[in-house]
Amino acid sequence: MSLAIRRRLAAWGFLTPMLLGIIIFFIFPLVMTVYYSFTSYNMLSPPKWNNFANWKHLFGNDQVIGKATLNTLWFVAVLVPVRIVGALFVSWMLTKARRAGGVFRTIYYLPALIPPVASTVAFVFVLNPGSGPIASILGWGPIKTVLSWVGFDNPGFFADSSWAKPAHAFLALWVLGDIMVIILASLLNVPTEQYEAAEIDGAGAARRFWYVTIPNIRPVLLFATITGIIAVLQYFTQPSVASATASGNMPHGAGAGKIMGWPENSTLTYGQLLYQNGFSYHNLGYASTMAVMLFLVAGVVMFFLLRRFSDFNPEVAS
């Protein structure tokens, strides 16, 4: 056996476990999900082919999917930039800290270590309009008067359909430690010579930030944007726990899907509606159709983002 053949066999030997994992845990489930999207399937009886009935229902007859899609787009449009801008601001402030920088880094990162369920429950109680400390502060005489002048009067936060989504933005802003760490690392890696050269050329703080800082940390910002969009398209745990906690109703199993979106479907996301159809109403065929649609949308968005920005292409980036 020649040396070239032995090298090829060795390469295939190393690659085989990974290829098997991709086939078993990605390609096979994906193919089966596409197949189920054209069937009527309830997990109790064999799937029955129904042509495009699920897809017609998705685009024409589903009365709730429009609301769930708009809620999800709102979360994508607000939560992703809020977290990135907030993490960038906190990271920039930490680079200016002369004393106790490590203590402040730890303080800002700690909320990211809390499990999402626990942090959401704690945040709901903190913002509880009846007994939460934030509500008590906002309800104090002078503060309440000032807030009422700007229309910020007795917000119900998670219990109010008009305040539920902004309350989730506050929660997302609180747990920005994961993004803050990578942005802080990229800020500390910006060459100081570039700042000095820009300052000699007469650039002020704002121009140095725009023309020196942003280009140097752009790959990290793009990474945070892509991972943030993917995570928010699958936003599930936080709105589910917030709805159950704020409503005072903690159902288990399939019943958990029925409380999702409370109050008035204001926080119902696409992922939650998919769960409801699959596991509360046992309509796996339609849930598979929704899953395929979500996969296609996420794939198209990622494709255009990576085509538009070449930061992850080593040939172009260099």
pLDDT tens digits for range 239-263: 999 998 888 776 666 566 677 888 8
Q: Which residues contact 194 (CB under 8 A, 6 or more apart)?
A: 212, 216
| 145-182 confidence digits (pLDDT tens) | 877 777 777 778 888 888 899 999 999 999 999 999 99
Four-CA torsion 243, 245, 246, 248, nearest 10 degrees: 110
Q: Residue 181: its pLDDT value, please?
A: 93
Q: Residue 11: its pLDDT value, please?
A: 93
Q: Residue 138: its pLDDT value, please?
A: 78
Q: Residue 247: its pLDDT value, please?
A: 84
Sign, Cα dihedral of 130, 135, 139, 144? negative
The stretches in the chain having pLDDT less than 70 are 250-257, 310-318
Q: Residue 315: its pLDDT value, please?
A: 58
Four-CA torsion 10, 14, 15, 20, nearest 10 degrees: 120
pTM: 0.86
Q: Residue 135: its pLDDT value, please?
A: 77
